[in-house]
A and B are shown apart, each in its own frame.
Chain A
Amino acid sequence: MRIFRAEWRKLRRPTLFFGSMGAVVAVTALVVSLLFLLIDSEMGNADRGQRITRDILALPSGISIGFSSSAGLLGIVALCVFAAQTAQEYTYGTLRSLLVREPRRIRLLIGKYLSMGLFAFFTVMFSAITSVLLAFALSGIAKVSTNAWTTSEAWTNLFETFVNVLVSTFGYGTIGMVLGLLLRSPISSISIGVGWLFIVESILSIAWSPSGNWLPGSLLSVVASGGAPIGVTDVPSYSEAFIRVSAMITAAALVTGFMFKRRDVAS
């Protein structure tokens, strides 16, 4: 708990907390706005030029589509925060101060992780609230019926989407933390993480589609969408994706944690 609270003191500083939440709100607002305002565009109104029609948006799940479409961007935020908060302990030299106060290294990592997890929870919550409010606000302009959005089925769906997006955000965050511990530099960990998950994986998936079944970024987007993302086929089921990506991330976290426990802190 001490470690959690100490880490939270760093995460709650206004420029980081409100800056990140502001970015999340802005990005979610952009995604939801495009979804509703480009509903009649032939160029599409969703990811990869997909068209999400009024009929689809009018379903009980329609209220969650904008939110789940923002999951990748929430993942970027989580990856950046987790990687930066971890790697900066090396670049600032503060890791040695932390370890003098808490020499049980795995406890230190777990405390930091939980604190950053709370931060990630807030990003997902702010995104969810923004997307729902904006969906209602824009439904009139886009002439989308909201009758089904107030049913219990819609709220159950929204809750499930929230959990899935949260799990996927935690997944991206864990990858960020692992990279931060391995590379010990915020810039390297963020650029390699974002570059791999959002650029290299896309290229690999296009070049050889079955690779998407095993790439962590693709699997996390399946988890965030609660199954195959809209317009995407030939991907593993939700449970397969969840098990595969959980196994990969858990293994990476365990190996990195073991290395961190044993590694000399000489900087």
Chain B
Amino acid sequence: MTAISVKGLTKSYGDLVAVKDATFEVPLGTICGFVGPNGSGKTTTIRMLLSLISPTSGSGEILDEPISHPERYLSQVGAMIEGPAFYPALTGAENLRVIATLGGFPLERIPELLETVGLSGRGDDKYKTYSLGMKQRLGIAAALLPNPKLLILDEPTNGLDPAGIQEIRDLLSKLAKEGVTVFVSSHLLSEIEMISEYLVMLRKGEVIFFGKTEELLHRSRPTIVVKATKASDLKRLKKLVDEVGHPALLEGAELRIDADEKWGAELNELAFENEIVLKQITPVRPTLEETFFTMTEE
């Protein structure tokens, strides 16, 4: 059983193809990051998964139910799409009561959820008085109302301060440990890298990667960053490593060599043989952000 499974999902608006032939799977009980540049089709895909818009073609399943029958799975799905949306004249707690009543969820959970998202003291204040961060927290509380098996969050950390981001990250990790599948889109790739085991990456409406985050990062070319006791030796070292088939780039007092960390010993030996004393050899794996830019650039 998968939490999300889509095959050939496409959404077109006339000539504009917002999502093209998207195919990916999200296993149960994981945190899956959903990343892509602005306008790459993330929100459109999420809207199709939640049946807010109908796909032009393709199919999908959420919790093993077809997306053409949202009434079969949405009671087990919590979602926050395109930021929080509530009634400004109602209090935070009353807004949650509206959603809970509509979904048939117990109202007793509301104080507990407000506490979970750090709004326990502000539940009786009107929504219109909330800061962006508080609105975001209320949106997450609303998404948690159904006690979901699958949580779909679109940019949940927007407007949150670093402490708030850390709290949300901890909350999502805790939920995943409890067996909740979290499908989260965010432009904060460092956050996604920290919490996501799985990743779906979009570019111009097409899925360019889906799978384990680790797999993606390992797929990217690693580098070894080198510093020499004499900076002038780096130019010579660059020529040497180039000759043995490892392209290198001189950046100030550093030489960045395209090579796996396993080649570090050979590099050290090569430098020693040529009377170059290295003061630092650091293997560097590209971050998700660097990988993302490499994969999504034109």
Interface residues of A, Cβ cutoff 8 Å to B: 2-3, 5-6, 9-10, 13, 15-16, 88, 92-94, 96-104, 262, 264-266
Cβ–Cβ < 8 Å partners of A16 in chain B? 89
Residues of A within 8 A of B71 (CB): 103-104
From B74, B77, B79, B86, give the contact of A94 (CB < 8 A). B86
Contacts of A88 in B (CB 8 A): 87
- In the bound complex, what is the Cα–Cα distance between A16 and B88 (angstroms)? 13
Q: Is the CB of B77 within 8 A of A100?
A: yes
In the complex, the number of residue pairs spanning A and B with C-beta atoms less than 8 Å apart equals: 76
- B interface residues (Cβ-Cβ under 8 A, vs A): 47, 50-54, 70-71, 74, 77, 79, 81-83, 85-90, 94, 97-99, 101-104, 142
The reply to whether A96 and B103 contact each other, CB–CB distance below 8 Å, is no
Q: Kindly list chain A residues whose C-beta atoms are within 8 Å of the C-beta of B86.
A: 92, 94, 97
For B146, give the chain A residue with the smallest CB separation. Answer: A101
**Most chain A C-beta atoms within 10 Å of own C-beta, residue among B71, B79, B82, B103:** B103
- The contact of A264 among B53, B70, B99, B104, by CB within 8 Å, is B53
Contact indicator B85/A10 (Cβ below 8 Å): no
Distance between Cα atoms of A103 and B103 in the complex (Å):
10
Main secondary structure of the interface of A (DSSP, over half): helix
Q: Is the CB of A92 within 8 A of B77?
A: no
Q: Judging by beta carbons under 8 Å apart, are A9 and B82 in contact?
A: no
Contact in complex: B90, A10 (CB < 8 Å): yes
Nearest CB on B from A77, distance (A): 18
Within 8 Å by CB of A97, from B77, B89, B99, B101, lies: B99
Q: For A262, what are the chain B residues with a Cβ–Cβ distance below 8 Å? A: 54
For B94, the chain A residues whose CB sits under 8 A away are 9, 13
**Beyond A2-B104, A265-B47, is A99–B52 a contact (Cβ under 8 Å)?**
yes
A96 and B53 form a contact (CB under 8 A): no
Q: How far is the CA of A99 from the CA of B49 in the complex (A)?
A: 12
| CB-based contact A101/B102 at 8 Å | yes
Please, which residues of chain A bring their CB within 8 A of the CB of B88?
92
5 A-B pairs in the complex with CB atoms less than 8 angstroms apart: A10-B98, A97-B142, A100-B50, A101-B102, A264-B54
Cα distance A9–B51 in the bound complex, in angstroms: 25
Question: Quick check: B47 and A13 within 8 Å, CB to CB?
Answer: no
B101 x A5 contact (CB < 8 A): yes
By the criterion CB–CB under 8 Å, are A102 and B51 in contact? no
A92 and B89 CA atoms in complex are apart in Å by: 11
CB neighbours (8 Å) of A94 from chain B are: 85-87
With beta carbons under 8 angstroms apart, the residue of B47, B79, B83, B102 that contacts A6 is B102
Please state if A265 and B53 are interface contacts (CB–CB under 8 Å). yes
Partner pick for B52 among A10, A92, A96, A104, CB 8 A cutoff:
A96
